[in-house]
Amino acid sequence: KAADIGVAMGMTGTDAAKDASDMILLDDSFTTIAYAIKEGRRVYRNIQKVIQFLLVGNIAEILALFIATVFNWNSPLLALHILWVNLATATLPALALGVDPASKHIMEHQPVKSGTLFEKDLVRRVVIQGIFVAGMTLIAYWIGANSGGHTAGQTMAFCVLAFSQMLRAFNQRSNTEPIWVRAEGLNPWLVVSFAVSLAFMLAILFVPVLQNAFKLTLLTGDQWLAVVGLSLLSILQVEAGKGIKRLKKG
Protein backbone atom coordinates (compact mmCIF):
# COMPACT_ATOMS: atom_id res chain seq x y z
CA LYS A 1 0.00 0.00 0.00
CA ALA A 2 2.96 2.34 0.64
CA ALA A 3 4.44 1.68 -2.82
CA ASP A 4 4.13 4.21 -5.65
CA ILE A 5 2.20 1.57 -7.56
CA GLY A 6 1.05 -1.40 -5.51
CA VAL A 7 0.69 -4.62 -7.50
CA ALA A 8 -1.37 -7.65 -6.49
CA MET A 9 -1.90 -11.04 -8.10
CA GLY A 10 -5.35 -11.54 -9.53
CA MET A 11 -5.43 -15.34 -9.35
CA THR A 12 -3.45 -16.13 -6.20
CA GLY A 13 -3.51 -12.81 -4.36
CA THR A 14 -5.58 -12.26 -1.25
CA ASP A 15 -8.60 -9.96 -1.19
CA ALA A 16 -6.77 -7.65 1.23
CA ALA A 17 -3.83 -7.31 -1.18
CA LYS A 18 -6.17 -6.61 -4.09
CA ASP A 19 -8.04 -3.94 -2.14
CA ALA A 20 -4.80 -2.16 -1.19
CA SER A 21 -3.17 -2.37 -4.63
CA ASP A 22 -3.29 0.04 -7.57
CA MET A 23 -2.80 -2.69 -10.17
CA ILE A 24 -4.10 -6.26 -10.27
CA LEU A 25 -2.44 -8.79 -12.58
CA LEU A 26 -5.32 -10.94 -13.77
CA ASP A 27 -2.96 -13.55 -15.24
CA ASP A 28 -0.37 -13.35 -12.41
CA SER A 29 2.34 -12.67 -15.02
CA PHE A 30 4.84 -9.88 -14.48
CA THR A 31 5.41 -9.76 -18.25
CA THR A 32 1.96 -8.19 -18.50
CA ILE A 33 3.32 -5.14 -16.65
CA ALA A 34 5.89 -4.56 -19.40
CA TYR A 35 3.18 -4.79 -22.07
CA ALA A 36 1.00 -2.35 -20.13
CA ILE A 37 3.88 0.12 -19.73
CA LYS A 38 4.67 -0.07 -23.44
CA GLU A 39 1.04 0.61 -24.37
CA GLY A 40 0.83 3.47 -21.88
CA ARG A 41 3.97 5.04 -23.31
CA ARG A 42 2.59 4.67 -26.85
CA VAL A 43 -0.63 6.47 -25.90
CA TYR A 44 1.32 9.18 -24.05
CA ARG A 45 3.69 9.76 -26.99
CA ASN A 46 0.83 9.82 -29.48
CA ILE A 47 -0.99 12.49 -27.47
CA GLN A 48 2.22 14.53 -27.53
CA LYS A 49 2.55 14.03 -31.30
CA VAL A 50 -1.00 15.25 -31.98
CA ILE A 51 -0.66 18.29 -29.73
CA GLN A 52 2.73 19.19 -31.20
CA PHE A 53 1.48 18.72 -34.76
CA LEU A 54 -1.60 20.91 -34.30
CA LEU A 55 0.12 23.63 -32.23
CA VAL A 56 2.89 24.13 -34.79
CA GLY A 57 0.31 24.79 -37.51
CA ASN A 58 -1.69 27.17 -35.30
CA ILE A 59 1.41 29.11 -34.24
CA ALA A 60 2.50 29.42 -37.89
CA GLU A 61 -0.91 30.78 -38.94
CA ILE A 62 -1.16 33.28 -36.08
CA LEU A 63 2.43 34.44 -36.41
CA ALA A 64 2.26 34.92 -40.20
CA LEU A 65 -0.86 37.08 -39.88
CA PHE A 66 0.53 38.94 -36.86
CA ILE A 67 3.76 39.87 -38.65
CA ALA A 68 1.82 41.00 -41.74
CA THR A 69 -0.42 43.17 -39.55
CA VAL A 70 2.47 44.71 -37.59
CA PHE A 71 4.30 45.74 -40.78
CA ASN A 72 1.06 46.77 -42.50
CA TRP A 73 1.49 44.23 -45.31
CA ASN A 74 -1.32 42.75 -47.35
CA SER A 75 -2.78 39.67 -45.66
CA PRO A 76 -0.90 36.55 -46.84
CA LEU A 77 -3.88 34.33 -45.98
CA LEU A 78 -7.64 34.58 -45.96
CA ALA A 79 -9.82 33.33 -43.11
CA LEU A 80 -11.17 30.70 -45.51
CA HIS A 81 -7.64 29.43 -46.16
CA ILE A 82 -6.90 29.04 -42.45
CA LEU A 83 -10.22 27.25 -41.88
CA TRP A 84 -9.45 24.86 -44.73
CA VAL A 85 -5.95 24.08 -43.44
CA ASN A 86 -7.30 23.35 -39.97
CA LEU A 87 -10.12 21.13 -41.23
CA ALA A 88 -8.78 19.42 -44.36
CA THR A 89 -5.01 19.16 -44.01
CA ALA A 90 -4.62 18.98 -40.23
CA THR A 91 -7.51 16.90 -38.89
CA LEU A 92 -6.89 13.67 -40.81
CA PRO A 93 -3.11 13.47 -40.20
CA ALA A 94 -3.69 14.33 -36.52
CA LEU A 95 -6.15 11.43 -36.20
CA ALA A 96 -3.64 9.14 -37.90
CA LEU A 97 -0.87 10.21 -35.50
CA GLY A 98 -3.20 9.34 -32.63
CA VAL A 99 -3.09 5.65 -33.62
CA ASP A 100 0.61 5.55 -34.52
CA PRO A 101 2.33 2.28 -33.57
CA ALA A 102 4.95 2.35 -30.83
CA SER A 103 8.59 2.98 -31.71
CA LYS A 104 10.86 -0.04 -31.31
CA HIS A 105 12.95 2.06 -28.89
CA ILE A 106 10.04 3.26 -26.78
CA MET A 107 11.01 1.15 -23.75
CA GLU A 108 14.50 2.68 -23.78
CA HIS A 109 13.19 6.18 -23.05
CA GLN A 110 13.51 7.67 -19.59
CA PRO A 111 10.27 7.64 -17.56
CA VAL A 112 8.46 10.95 -17.15
CA LYS A 113 6.88 12.41 -14.05
CA SER A 114 3.20 11.67 -13.52
CA GLY A 115 0.98 14.40 -14.94
CA THR A 116 3.76 15.83 -17.14
CA LEU A 117 2.59 16.35 -20.73
CA PHE A 118 4.23 19.59 -21.87
CA GLU A 119 7.94 18.94 -21.41
CA LYS A 120 10.34 21.88 -21.85
CA ASP A 121 11.84 20.21 -24.89
CA LEU A 122 8.38 19.79 -26.45
CA VAL A 123 7.49 23.46 -25.94
CA ARG A 124 10.79 24.56 -27.49
CA ARG A 125 10.30 22.34 -30.54
CA VAL A 126 6.76 23.58 -31.07
CA VAL A 127 7.76 27.25 -30.92
CA ILE A 128 10.80 26.84 -33.20
CA GLN A 129 8.87 24.82 -35.78
CA GLY A 130 5.95 27.26 -35.70
CA ILE A 131 8.25 30.23 -36.31
CA PHE A 132 10.00 28.38 -39.13
CA VAL A 133 6.75 27.47 -40.93
CA ALA A 134 5.48 31.04 -40.51
CA GLY A 135 8.70 32.30 -42.11
CA MET A 136 8.34 29.91 -45.06
CA THR A 137 4.72 31.00 -45.50
CA LEU A 138 5.65 34.68 -45.62
CA ILE A 139 8.53 34.01 -48.02
CA ALA A 140 6.11 32.13 -50.28
CA TYR A 141 3.73 35.07 -50.24
CA TRP A 142 6.53 37.50 -51.06
CA ILE A 143 7.71 35.38 -53.99
CA GLY A 144 4.20 34.98 -55.36
CA ALA A 145 3.22 38.61 -54.89
CA ASN A 146 6.34 39.81 -56.70
CA SER A 147 6.03 37.34 -59.55
CA GLY A 148 2.27 37.21 -60.08
CA GLY A 149 0.41 39.64 -57.83
CA HIS A 150 -1.44 39.50 -54.52
CA THR A 151 -3.63 36.51 -55.39
CA ALA A 152 -0.64 34.46 -56.53
CA GLY A 153 1.11 35.36 -53.28
CA GLN A 154 -1.84 34.20 -51.20
CA THR A 155 -2.08 30.99 -53.24
CA MET A 156 1.59 30.22 -52.68
CA ALA A 157 1.41 31.05 -48.96
CA PHE A 158 -1.67 28.85 -48.61
CA CYS A 159 0.02 25.95 -50.44
CA VAL A 160 3.21 26.13 -48.38
CA LEU A 161 1.29 26.28 -45.11
CA ALA A 162 -0.89 23.30 -46.07
CA PHE A 163 1.73 21.10 -47.75
CA SER A 164 4.38 21.67 -45.08
CA GLN A 165 1.88 20.60 -42.43
CA MET A 166 0.92 17.48 -44.37
CA LEU A 167 4.56 16.50 -44.90
CA ARG A 168 5.56 17.31 -41.34
CA ALA A 169 3.12 14.68 -40.07
CA PHE A 170 5.59 12.01 -41.21
CA ASN A 171 8.60 13.29 -39.29
CA GLN A 172 6.37 14.20 -36.35
CA ARG A 173 6.10 10.47 -35.59
CA SER A 174 9.32 10.65 -33.59
CA ASN A 175 11.21 13.50 -31.95
CA THR A 176 14.46 11.54 -31.91
CA GLU A 177 14.54 8.99 -34.75
CA PRO A 178 15.06 10.12 -38.37
CA ILE A 179 12.07 9.96 -40.69
CA TRP A 180 13.65 7.14 -42.70
CA VAL A 181 14.08 5.02 -39.55
CA ARG A 182 10.49 5.45 -38.36
CA ALA A 183 9.40 4.58 -41.90
CA GLU A 184 10.29 0.98 -41.03
CA GLY A 185 7.11 0.82 -38.96
CA LEU A 186 4.95 2.69 -41.45
CA ASN A 187 1.56 3.92 -40.26
CA PRO A 188 -0.89 3.05 -43.07
CA TRP A 189 -3.51 5.46 -41.73
CA LEU A 190 -1.02 8.30 -42.04
CA VAL A 191 -0.43 7.44 -45.69
CA VAL A 192 -4.19 7.33 -46.33
CA SER A 193 -4.75 10.65 -44.54
CA PHE A 194 -1.96 12.26 -46.59
CA ALA A 195 -3.47 10.96 -49.85
CA VAL A 196 -6.96 12.21 -48.96
CA SER A 197 -5.68 15.62 -47.83
CA LEU A 198 -3.61 15.90 -51.02
CA ALA A 199 -6.69 15.08 -53.14
CA PHE A 200 -8.65 17.81 -51.34
CA MET A 201 -5.86 20.32 -51.93
CA LEU A 202 -5.52 19.48 -55.63
CA ALA A 203 -9.28 19.81 -56.04
CA ILE A 204 -9.45 23.37 -54.74
CA LEU A 205 -6.29 24.33 -56.61
CA PHE A 206 -7.29 23.04 -60.03
CA VAL A 207 -11.10 22.75 -60.16
CA PRO A 208 -12.24 26.20 -61.42
CA VAL A 209 -15.38 26.44 -59.27
CA LEU A 210 -13.53 25.57 -56.05
CA GLN A 211 -10.55 27.68 -57.07
CA ASN A 212 -12.75 30.75 -57.43
CA ALA A 213 -14.56 30.02 -54.16
CA PHE A 214 -11.24 30.00 -52.29
CA LYS A 215 -9.94 33.02 -54.23
CA LEU A 216 -6.92 31.14 -55.58
CA THR A 217 -5.14 31.23 -58.92
CA LEU A 218 -3.12 28.87 -61.09
CA LEU A 219 0.60 28.96 -60.38
CA THR A 220 3.43 28.90 -62.89
CA GLY A 221 6.07 26.18 -63.01
CA ASP A 222 8.62 28.34 -61.20
CA GLN A 223 6.10 29.20 -58.51
CA TRP A 224 5.33 25.52 -57.98
CA LEU A 225 9.04 24.79 -57.63
CA ALA A 226 9.23 27.44 -54.92
CA VAL A 227 6.17 25.96 -53.16
CA VAL A 228 7.63 22.44 -53.19
CA GLY A 229 11.05 23.64 -52.06
CA LEU A 230 9.72 25.74 -49.18
CA SER A 231 7.39 22.94 -48.07
CA LEU A 232 10.22 20.39 -48.03
CA LEU A 233 12.36 22.75 -45.95
CA SER A 234 9.92 22.17 -43.10
CA ILE A 235 10.92 18.49 -43.05
CA LEU A 236 14.62 19.34 -43.28
CA GLN A 237 14.34 21.76 -40.36
CA VAL A 238 12.78 19.13 -38.10
CA GLU A 239 15.29 16.45 -39.14
CA ALA A 240 18.18 18.87 -38.53
CA GLY A 241 16.87 19.46 -35.02
CA LYS A 242 16.72 15.71 -34.39
CA GLY A 243 20.27 15.30 -35.71
CA ILE A 244 21.63 18.01 -33.41
CA LYS A 245 19.86 16.39 -30.45
CA ARG A 246 21.39 12.97 -31.26
CA LEU A 247 24.87 14.50 -31.57
CA LYS A 248 24.56 16.14 -28.16
CA LYS A 249 23.53 12.83 -26.59
CA GLY A 250 26.25 10.91 -28.45
Per residue in 12-56, pLDDT (tens digit) is: 878 787 778 777 887 777 777 788 888 888 888 888 889 889 999
Whole-prediction pTM: 0.84
Per residue in 233-249, pLDDT (tens digit) is: 988 888 888 787 777 76
Cβ atoms within 10 A of the Cβ of 84, count? 20
DSSP letter for each residue of 22-73: SEEETT--THHHHHHHHHHHHHHHHHHHHHHHHHHHHHHHHHHHHHHHHTTP
